[in-house]
């Protein structure tokens, strides 16, 4: 199906992303997987190419694109390679960026944004805690005011870029009695005394991404590192979560479409009983269903992207795009594995790795159950 949300500028940008991936990323993926992280040199190159600062004002070194479709193009191309890339780069360039652009003061922008654009200041966001991620309002990490610092105690887990990040946007409780209205955000910088990280976590998929636990033991965070207003962190997170969920949807459907395309080629080449396996009516009909599912989902996600560009994407619209795209992605990839037969279970086959990589999309960025909870509440229940 022809897509109409992008124009020539977006497609030119897509070509530059593809070239970067072909030359700098794809040849080194095995190394990234064994290191469980993307090397800093790759971040710096992404910065030089202008991929990290799409949302950042020009005066701080960004592109100030003012058009989310450029983020979407970047995300789509990264997802076609694997799921770890849009996860790591997306957390920095797509998810943390709005916090640093819209909630910071001038001093913070000057301090953080130039390095953010070049890749010298790699970021992460720490919301989830070992005791729970779905119930964000119940988070337990505390930040207690003491003079002109906040003393931070607690821990975070499953934090993407957590091991390598130079700065983590951390959600902490500043007013215990106020629950959701007692949470604030802080820029916790590498090297702050009492801030430590656990090992890189061993995941079922996405071995190329760095995912870590973070620990805060009496970390003195200067008041100057408070991001946004005191006690309004929960509202800030709710404001930016739709963009996070939209980015997740863009990733999911692009990834599924790419692996399905590769699977269709496989079904043309692979022979059984003297013919291509795609010619068996069961498989032909299955592929017809999968292609339709992907295209219908793509149309919904494209519409959500356009709504976001117009400032009209609601939290409910983003929740629908997130859960549905991850459901479609996982169903499609499961069938793709099946169509590859035994090869589909071999790690050296892209389809096997893609299937492992995709499983988390029903869990992260707000689990699918939480997405349905939000949608259900909006129906009046
Ligand atoms: C690879 C990876 C990367 C991640 N990156 C980050 C990151 O960078 N930053 C960050 O902050 N977090 C990150 N996360 C955390 C992720 O967002 C959480 O795992 C997710 O929000 C779920 O939280 P939880 O794991 O604590 O599960 P829980 O909240 O304990 O939920 C467990 C189960 O109960 C269900 N459940 C919970 N509440 C309800 C309800 N009300 N109704 C129905 N079902 C419910 C959930 O859907 C889930 O199935 C990452 C996770 C992974 C796996």
Contact partners, residue 98, CB within 8 Å, separation at least 6:
55, 240, 243
Instruction: Enter the tokens of residue 96.
Output: 């943390």
**Which helix H or strand E contains 62, and what residues bound it?**
none
pTM value is: 0.98
- Listed in order, strand segments (DSSP E) in 55-194 are 123-126, 142-146, 149-160, 167-173, 183-189
- Ordered by start, the domain boundaries in the chain are 8-121, 124-231, 235-378
Which protein residue's CA is at the shortest distance from atom 7 of ligand 1? 159
Contact partners, residue 41, CB within 8 Å, separation at least 6:
none
Q: What is the pLDDT of residue 1?
A: 83
Say which CATH topology domain 124-231 has.
Butyryl-CoA Dehydrogenase, subunit A; domain 2 (2.40.110)
Strand partners, 160: 211
CA 258 to CA 246: how far, in whole Å?
Answer: 18
Substitution candidate for ligand 1 out of 91, 96, 134 with most atoms within 8 A of CB = 134
Residues in the chain predicted with pLDDT less than 50, given as ranges, are none
Which protein residue's CA is at the shortest distance from atom 40 of ligand 1? 370
CATH architecture of 8-121: Orthogonal Bundle (1.10)
Contact partners, residue 242, CB within 8 Å, separation at least 6:
308, 313, 314, 315, 317, 318
Q: What is the pLDDT of residue 319?
A: 98
CA of 273 to the centre of ligand 1 (A): 45
CB 216 within 8 A of CB 154: yes
Query: How many C-beta atoms surround the C-beta of residue 27 within 10 A?
Result: 10
- DSSP code, position 53: -
- Answer whether 203 contacts ligand 1 (Cβ < 6 A): yes
Q: What is the pLDDT of residue 98?
A: 98
CA 194 to CA 153: how far, in whole Å?
Answer: 9
- Answer whether 367 contacts ligand 1 (Cβ < 6 A): yes
CA 362 to CA 70: how far, in whole Å?
Answer: 25
Which protein residue's CA is at the shortest distance from atom 52 of ligand 1? 158
Give domain 235-378's CATH number out of 1.10.275.10, 3.40.50.920, 1.20.140.10, 3.30.70.360. Answer: 1.20.140.10
Ranges of H-type helices in the chain? 8-20, 29-35, 40-48, 68-81, 84-90, 97-102, 106-118, 233-269, 281-309, 315-339, 350-358, 368-378
């Amino acid at each position: 199906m022809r897509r109409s949300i992008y124009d020539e500028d977006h497609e030119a940008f897509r070509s530059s992303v593809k070239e970067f991936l072909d030359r700098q990323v794809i040849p080194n993926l095995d190394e990234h997987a064994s290191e469980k992280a993307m090397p800093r040199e790759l971040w710096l190159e992404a910065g030089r190419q202008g991929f990290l600062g799409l949302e950042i004002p020009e005066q701080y070194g960004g592109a100030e694109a003012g058009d989310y479709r450029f983020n979407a193009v970047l995300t789509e191309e990264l997802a076609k390679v694997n799921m770890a890339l849009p996860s790591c780069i997306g957390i920095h360039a797509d998810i943390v960026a709005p916090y640093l652009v819209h909630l910071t003061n001038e001093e913070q922008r000057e301090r953080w944004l130039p390095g953010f654009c070049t890749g010298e200041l790699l970021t992460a966001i720490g919301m989830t805690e070992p005791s729970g991620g779905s119930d964000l309002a119940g988070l337990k990490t505390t930040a207690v005011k003491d003079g002109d610092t906040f003393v931070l105690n607690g821990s975070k887990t499953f934090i993407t870029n957590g091991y390598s990040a130079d700065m983590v946007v951390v959600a902490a409780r500043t007013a215990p009695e106020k629950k959701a209205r007692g949470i604030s955000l802080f820029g916790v910088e590498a090297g702050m005394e009492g801030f430590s990280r656990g090992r890189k976590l061993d995941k079922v998929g996405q071995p190329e991404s760095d995912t870590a636990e973070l620990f805060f033991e009496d970390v003195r965070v200067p008041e100057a590192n408070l991001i946004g207003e005191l006690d309004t962190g929960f509202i800030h997170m709710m404001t930016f979560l739709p963009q996070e969920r939209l980015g997740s949807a863009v990733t999911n459907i692009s990834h599924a479409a790419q692996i399905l395309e590769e699977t269709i080629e496989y079904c043309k080449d692979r022979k059984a009983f003297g013919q291509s396996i795609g010619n068996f009516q069961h498989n032909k009909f299955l592929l017809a269903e999968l292609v339709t599912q992907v295209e219908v989902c793509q149309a919904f996600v494209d519409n959500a992207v356009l709504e976001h560009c117009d400032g009209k994407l609601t939290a409910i619209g983003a929740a629908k795009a997130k859960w549905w795209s991850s459901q479609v992605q996982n169903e499609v990839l499961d069938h793709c594995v099946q169509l590859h037969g035994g090869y589909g279970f071999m790690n050296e086959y892209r389809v096997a790795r893609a299937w492992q990589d995709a499983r988390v999309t029903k869990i992260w960025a707000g689990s699918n159950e939480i997405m349905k909870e939000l949608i259900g509440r909006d129906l009046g229940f």
